[in-house]
Structure 1
Amino acid sequence: MGEGPQFDFCVIIDDDDDILMASRLLLRRLFKDVAIANTPEEALPAISARPPDTVLLDANFARGATDAAEGLAWLDKFLAIDPEMVVVMITAHAGVQVAVAAMKRGATDFVSKPWSNERLLATVRNAASLRRSRRAMTIAPAAAAAAPAGSPLLGTSPVMTRVHSLISRAAPTDANVLVLGENGTGKELVARELHRQSLRADKVMLTVDLGAISEDLIDSELFGHVKGAFTDARTDRVGRLQAADGGTLFLDEIGNLPLRLQPKLLTALEQRQITPVGANKPIPIDIRVIAATNLPTEKLRDENHFRQDLLFRLNTVEIDLPPLRDRPEDLPQLIDHYLDHYARRYGREVPVLGAAARAALLRHDWPGNVRALRHALERAVILARDGELQPDDFALSPTAPRIAPGAVVAPGAGDDLNLERVERRLVEEALKKHGYNISLAANELGLSRAALYRRMEKHGL
């Protein structure tokens, strides 16, 4: 199945025209628009006018330079312009020390020239997904004050009060934390809040989405590799566990870690050292690990899917994020907050929510949780007409009956042959059937994870 671009805008900055053209052609698979520039100065107008999903920044520009000083200086300038900017460093000369320095100064990742196309696409896709998550988590100042201790996790229901209590007690320790919850409940928000309140808050926090990386790349992504370790290993690569040294490593979608690599991660966490692929000498690390998964509990406790000794190492503290349907008392605050937030973002007046629309929002089951609510409210703000918002402005469909695990659903059941509604129903049923595990639902639908995410956004799931 052919797939179009998943993201909006990317900027590539490199002094080599051949590199610019090759990477631009390749990254058009991911981005609707790819801008190129030979110097950071040339790229500034484009970056200032239109916040990019990802910036690829060369580490050296002056002839003969190999120390990455110029690239690191520009990295600091770009992050001063936008602290949430996602920057991937590219260089032909970056050793492990330079790569670690770049990531500790705020770079999301790095790629070395020459690169493999698969590696570059995986790295940039992961970076752009991180930028999308950061945008989604942006909290307006007025709303942030309503959350405990400035937390971006909104909600004062008893279940959310317990979540805040667990965060405040676990954060100042170095205990590993496992965050459980359906997609869209805010697991990455919890991870960032744990880091913000920790003793490592002034250190780096790195994120690895194990669901967005192909299985054959996960080993070198986590542990790094040395030059010559395998066919495409043309240079040394620092792994995320080493790059996060001194700080926090967030392993999202930990349930996607292959069984063959789980003993290696367990050993690294127990011995507090890692051995890059192809290396002989271990490297000491000092990290705090936060992991998250949407796997159902029974699957997480299944030894055939997830090693229990690794689970015990990861879940010293376990935080279970409730689905939105289990905290309906938080809906009014969330609705008012996101209406105000998106009105500010798009320069609109905050629309008036009619009584019928508010009742429909409060009555809806929100199978996609806060993410789905957010998308519905954003769409309504963008398409708002004069007058009050009505139920039709939110494109809410009747909540489908819950699907029992393993149940077979007949596609297109009923008389409704509208393609948009049938697609939405199939996606929703696949998600519910697999407990909102994106990988399993995507596999059943015959889609990639990225394609399923796009359909979820399209239908507000």
Structure 2
Amino acid sequence: MNKQGTILIVDDNRNILTTVKMLLEDTFARITAIASPNNIPARLREDRPDVVLLDMNFQSGINNGNEGLYWLREIKRLRPQTQVVLFTAYADIELAVTGIKEGAADFVIKPFDNRKMRETLLNAYHKVTPRPQTAGKSNMVWGSSAAMTDLKVMVEKVAGTDANILITGENGTGKEVLANEIHLLSQRSDARLMPIDMGAVSETLFESELFGHMKGAFTDAKADKPGKFELAEGGTLFLDEIGNLSYNLQAKLLTALQRRSIVRVGGSRQIPINVRLICATNRDLQQMVREGSFREDLLYRINTIHLHLPALRERQGDIVPLARIFLERYAGMYNKSQMRFSPAAERKIDALPWYGNIRELQHAVEKAVILTDGPEIGESDIDGDTPATSGRPEGAQTIDQMEQRLIEKTIADCDGNLSQVASRLGISRQTLYNKIKRYGL
């Protein structure tokens, strides 16, 4: 059998993790197994699994499946194209039906039959929307605004080169989606696009994460492990939130880029690296250079080509078409295929400032689809800050000010649940903690 696809297995029983992983070794090309569901958002972002096999119960003594349903919803919200197969020890048809209604592809009952397990997971895999990294496929919606038309022309010129690219833009503008698009149009599209959230990489783990480590290099180094540079060999390395990297770590990154080689922690051999580098930030790196918080030599190294993604409110004519795309996606997901926007709703969508950009628009449309009972989404069903209610003073704000305001609003909307805040903003908990500390929230 030809191995294909990527699967994430989530179960707090490590014996089951080992057993299922061994069972699927000849079926899936890449298998990740985790014991804690709290790691799901990070794995979705980094591994982009085609299928998730999700246990329904994680907390001792709680066996009603509610935690599994919560994580099912989170997976479908964070990565709608990923198919979820529920894994339960209880043949509860009612719960299984609830899971299917919430978007699960199927379910498997413990103890499981090996043949049935493989068949169910493969069937789920074949339902998957093609992944963004697959050559010839794209999730980019360019629109017809002048700003995006100019950007598209530039991308088509530079994507086929190996020039390092810096993408700037506010939170939620789609910087990672643009990085995916550049990778697809590059000569490296058959290799991997490896994304790393630099805001979530701690000082102590930076070298291990990026450069890898040797067995015994530190207490928990039980085996040799390649870093992200090696895993991206021949492909593209996407460093998101590069502006959050500390000054000390900037020097280590610069050294690797200049030498075009890395040394694993605990090792001595220089390992050549062959990657195309794309970085992204919502911060003003030139200003950070002037302030002494970002290395000028690193900026020159990563900024061969600068691409700026405009804010959604600057994309005249693109907002409503984007909203219609999200409506089609979520109406299908929640079995409301006849749903439509009223003319008044579309006028409101077009008039709102969308300080959270595409991400905020996407969440607003999903919420409207979920909460609207009839076939038509009205003006009052669209949740968004109007200029009169947003509390935003007249005149331009800095990107940092808008980011701080968005985080404050999301924390309030989520009643202080930081896991939910991080998921809604599309960032890791560690990145959220860093930003809360930075803004003094």
State the TM-score, normalized to the length of structure 1. Answer: 0.64
Tell me which residue corresponds to 1:217: 205
- For 1:356-435, list aligned pairs within 5 A: 356-399=344-387, 400-402=390-392, 434-435=401-402
Count of residue pairs brought into register by the alignment:
337
When structure 1 is superposed on structure 2, of 235-244 and 431-440 the one drifting more is 431-440
Q: 1:286 to 1:121 in 2, by over 3 A?
A: farther
Tell me which residue corresponds to 2:51: none
Q: 1:262 to 1:438 in 2, by over 3 A?
A: farther
Rounded to whole Å, the distance in 2 between the matches of 1:201 and 1:439 is: 34
Native 8 Å contact 1:248 1:288 kept in 2: yes
Identical positions, percent? 37
Determine if the alignment matches structure 1 residue 74 to structure 2 residue 27: yes
Rounded to whole Å, the distance in 2 between the matches of 1:122 and 1:256 is: 23
Q: CA deviation at 1:441?
A: 6.8
Tell me which residue corresponds to 1:452: 421
Tell me which residue corresponds to 1:126: 42
Secondary structure, aligned partner of 2:341: coil
Deviation digits for residues 66-99 of structure 1, max 9, x if unmatched? xxxx7643323xx7xxxxxxx4268xxxxxxxxx
Q: 1:379 to 1:13 in 2, by over 3 A?
A: closer
Deviation digits for residues 86-121 of structure 1, max 9, x if unmatched? x4268xxxxxxxxxxxxxxxxxxxxxxxxxx9xx89
Secondary structure, aligned partner of 1:329: coil
Amino acid at match of 1:308: E
Determine if the alignment matches structure 1 residue 88 to structure 2 residue 18: no
Tell me which residue corresponds to 2:9: 11
Rounded to whole Å, the distance in 2 between the matches of 1:224 and 1:126 is: 18
Rounded to whole Å, the distance in 1 between the matches of 2:38 and 2:250 is: 21
Q: CA deviation at 1:169?
A: 1.0
Q: 1:435 to 1:309 in 2, by over 3 A?
A: farther
Rounded to whole Å, the distance in 1 between the matches of 2:417 and 2:294 is: 23
Q: CA deviation at 1:209?
A: 1.2
Q: CA deviation at 1:281?
A: 1.7
Q: 1:246 aligns with which of 230, 234, 244?
A: 234
Rounded to whole Å, the distance in 2 between the matches of 1:396 and 1:352 is: 18
Q: CA deviation at 1:159?
A: 0.5
Secondary structure, aligned partner of 2:237: strand
Q: CA deviation at 1:438?
A: 9.7
Unaligned runs of at least 5 residues, structure 2: 1-6, 49-74, 83-127, 427-441
Secondary structure, aligned partner of 1:356: helix
Amino acid at match of 2:161: T
Secondary structure, aligned partner of 1:318: strand
Q: 1:387 to 1:75 in 2, by over 3 A?
A: closer
Amino acid at match of 2:392: R
Q: 1:268 aligns with which of 256, 260, 270?
A: 256
Tell me which residue corresponds to 1:170: 158
When structure 1 is superposed on structure 2, of 253-262 and 125-134 the one drifting more is 125-134
Amino acid at match of 1:279: G
State the TM-score, normalized to the length of structure 2. Answer: 0.66
Native 8 Å contact 1:184 1:370 kept in 2: yes
Tell me which residue corresponds to 1:286: 274
Deviation digits for residues 131-153 of structure 1, max 9, x if unmatched? 46972689x99xx9xxx996622
- For 1:195-214, list aligned pairs within 5 A: 195-214=183-202
When structure 1 is superposed on structure 2, of 292-301 and 249-258 the one drifting more is 292-301
